[in-house]
Amino acid sequence: MLTEERYRIILERLQERGVVKLQELVELLEASESTVRRDLIDLEERQLLKRIHGGAALPSPKMQEPGIEEKTFRNIQQKNAVARLAAAQVVDGESIYIDAGTTTLAMIPFIEAKDVTVVTNGLSHIEGLVSKRIKSYLLGGMMKIHTKAVIGSIALQNMDNFRFDRCFLGTNGVDVEMGYTTPDPEEALIKRRAHQLSASSYVLADSSKLGEVSFAKLLDLNEATLITESLTPSWRKSISQKTNIIEGS
């Protein structure tokens, strides 16, 4: 494995976890302890990490994103839990579609599968994807101003260039009767088309979305697998008759 490749993997892992053990890296990189140790020394000299006894940690309390505005800590926790579950579904070598939206955005750092190809209509998603060196295609079409998502007929047509092993969609509402719903009909069209082009479809929804109903319908419950972080027993009972569920611990 190339030196730069190791550097990248180390930093990536560090971003995800905050700290890494040296032995963990030895195993992950399939390199000797000496080599990993040398890598850490190099990266520390570049100020990209701080070496600690037994491994390495993020340098200074890093600049967090300035705009975590209205989201509560609890919401972020939930969103990340869902995102992590979703990312774990991706298998090496697959091509997947990732919908625009904050929940799907959160799953990108957790993707560990190798050699995947990602198509997305989310402008914000591209940044994270390229920094993970994931081969990425952006859907062309009209920019929706507020959400930085690509929508419209050209996007739909553009999507026909692709076929996906899996698609991961966001939603604003999950309801037993109404299925999955979202406010913007244009976005709903895009999501629906992604579903049609995918072998498997997943909808990501933290528990705050349960019981909500929005304007435009994406899918019926039975058309996709629901990924959520936790369900009350009564919800689990009523939903599980209609759809597959991937649920956090």
Partner DNA sequence: TTCAAAATCATTCAAAATCATTCATCAAAA
Partner DNA sequence: TTTTGATGAATGATTTTGAATGATTTTGAA
Gap between the Cα atoms of 183 and 203, Å rounded: 15
Q: Provide the 3-class DSSP secondary structure of residue 111.
A: coil
- Inter-CA distances, 81 with 3, 44, 87, 127, Å: 32, 31, 10, 21
DSSP symbols for 21-54: EHHHHHHHHT--HHHHHHHHHHHHHTTS-EEETT
- Which of 1, 68, 130, 154 touches DNA (CB under 7 A)? 1
* Binding pattern for the stretch 42-61 against its own copies, x by CB under 8 A and - elsewhere: ----------xxxx-x----
Does the footprint of DNA cover residue 147 (CB under 7 A)? no
Among 91, 143, 183, 199, binds its own copies (CB under 8 A): 143
How far is residue 226's CA from residue 209's CA, in Å, rounded to a whole number?
12
Q: Which stretch binds its own copies (CB under 8 A): 36-44, 147-155, 201-209, 223-231?
A: 147-155
Q: Supply angle C-alpha 221, 224, 229, rounded to 5.
A: 85
Residue 140 binding partner per list DNA, its own copies, none, with a CB distance cut-off of 5 to 8 Å that depends on partner kind: its own copies
Q: Is 59 in the site for DNA (CB under 7 A)?
A: no
* 134 and 111 Cβ atoms separated by less than 8 Å: yes
Residues lying near its own copies in the complex (CB under 8 A):
2-5, 8, 16-19, 21, 52-55, 57, 123, 126, 129-130, 133, 135-143, 145, 148, 150, 154-155, 157-158, 161
Residues lying near DNA in the complex (CB under 7 A):
1-3, 21-23, 31-35, 37-38, 41, 51-55
